[in-house]
Structure 1
Amino acid sequence: MPLIQLREIIDGPAPVPAFNVIQVEHAEAIAAAAEETGASVVLQISENAVRYHGSLRPIGVAALSVAAVARTPIAVHLDHATSEELVREAVRLGFGSVMFDASALPHEENVARTASVVRECHEAGVAVEAELGEIGGKDGVHAPGVRTDPQDAAAYVAATGVDLLAVAVGSSHAMLTRDAELDFELISLLYKAVPVPLVLHGSSGVADESLAAAVRAGMRKINIATQLNKHFTASVRTVLDDHPSLVDPRRYLGAGREAMSAEVARLIRVLEG
């Protein structure tokens, strides 16, 4: 199955699960779950993951390669990039979509820089996601943050030309508990006001029933990272605790990969209802 672009699946009838990749085992686990369920998914690599590897190319090429040989459509996406140069590198490598995150900047600068990135990416046939509002959790503090106003969101999309919009509706990044309280009325209002697909960040902190409800209310792309890492790490820890003399990383990383893949498949089914 050839590597696809996010725009090829975002307008379809099913929600689009987007899972973050830190190492190649993550990409393999997600692809295996996508093949098991028959779902189209997104492998996304964040700026933090790029920093961990020292550059985008090693993990970016690995993710593109995993997607290219998968038996179900998989897109590769750059997540939470704050640097225009990182966006350009992703485009050069063959990513079909990017998120340019200027949400921490003053509004006028956010609009100007995002619009510039959109123009450049659209010339290359690459879709752009942006964020409006304060989703929170990036600094470890899980406050509700500033919710996205529907009219402001519509105006922002018109001014920038973005293809997808991440909105603040009560979730928070990097939560270890799954008790975030989403504002479903706000999601519905945003869905009616904003002419592009909506993205839910911080979905790891959202309970299963609320994730399904968010999709019904209008969310299209659902980003999940921490929840997968919890399962991966728990499995690795169990193997190492049970086998203290073990030194072959394939044994414990393989177990982590299997555990993560099972959780990805389960979450795909939750989102599909």
Structure 2
Amino acid sequence: MSFEGLQGNRTLDILHKAEQGRYGVLAQVCYDAQSIIALVRSAERMSSPAIIMLFPVTLAYGKGPFLQFCLNIAHQASVPIAVHLDHATDPEHIELAFSLAEEGIAFDSIMVDASHAETDEENIALARPYVERARKYGIAVEVELGRLEGGEAGLRMISDAKLTNEKNADMFMKGTGAVILAPSIGNLHGSYLKPPNFRQDILKNLRTMFKGRGIPLCLHGTDELPDELFRDCIASGISKVRFLPTYLP
């Protein structure tokens, strides 16, 4: 897997160290300055790396000034913190991220989410052009193989979940050129109506496949999961744990 143009990428540095240390890094969706400051200060207090994640709707609202604020507070923190654009499905949001990168205001990483595609081949065809352009700005790209069901604030609702076929994972990552993989293992966006049954075998097979090749695995769909399940997923190969905070009225 080629990492040309991504040397020193902050997200990858954080996740590669997590892979080596066999721990998970919190990647939290943040909507405003207060939640971002809280995440950064908490990470500093715990001497832990973290990843700030913005939904596309938040980027579209705050644009360059808000992204610059996120980058400043993240990159000036006393612990490693990266800034990531989560679940970018619509071309207008990806193009906005690239236009800001042209101005020197670049995300550390972006999730180019084409999991709504009917086939893995269509997913590759949709994602690859964006992955190639992102590299020119030193932006690492995450992709989703399979399809997570459900929806969250700022995300389109998805039905017809599809588990990751780990036999296609190598072809998929080479085809897209992406360097972070979000698998579908029985996880979903939103609340679980019954206890989740995650396919740890898929994670373990992916970890074996990509061992030593620098492809971190990201766990989505973490609402209300028990601590033991987090530990199991990290033991099976997860390095990035995506979290969407729930705000109570």
Are the counterparts in 2 of residues 179 and 205 from structure 1 also a CA contact under 8 Å? no
Aligned-partner Cα distance in 2 for 1:136–1:86: 26
For 1:148-187, list aligned pairs within 5 A: 148-175=164-191, 179-187=195-203
TM (normalized to structure 1)? 0.75
Match of 1:207 in 2: 226
Which shows bigger deviation, 108-117 or 147-156?
108-117
Alignment CA distance shift 1:28-1:81 (3 Å): same
Deviations 1:160-200 (A, max 9, x none): 11110111011111227794321112211122224511111
Are the counterparts in 1 of residues 216 and 238 from structure 2 also a CA contact under 8 Å? yes
Aligned-partner Cα distance in 1 for 2:182–2:12: 15
Deviations 1:198-230 (A, max 9, x none): 1111112422110111000011111001xx2x2
Aligned length: 226
- Give identity over the alignment, percent: 26
Match of 1:85 in 2: 95
* More helix, by proportion: 1
TM (normalized to structure 2)? 0.82
Output the amino acid matched with 1:5. R
Aligned-partner Cα distance in 2 for 1:4–1:134: 27
Alignment CA distance shift 1:62-1:131 (3 Å): same
Match of 2:151 in 1: 138
CA RMSD of aligned residues (A): 2.5
Are the counterparts in 2 of residues 91 and 121 from structure 1 also a CA contact under 8 Å? no
Higher relative CO (CA 8 A, sep ≥ 6), structure 1 or 2? 2
Alignment CA distance shift 1:4-1:23 (3 Å): farther
Alignment CA distance shift 1:142-1:176 (3 Å): farther
Moved over 6 A (4+): 139-144
Deviations 1:27-77 (A, max 9, x none): 0111011011111110010113335x2x53243222112213322111001
Q: Which has the larger radius of gyration?
A: 1
SS in 1 for 2:239: strand
SS in 2 for 1:215: helix
Output the amino acid matched with 2:101. V
Which shows bigger deviation, 114-123 or 176-185?
176-185
1:223 equivalent among 242, 245, 249: 242
SS in 2 for 1:134: coil
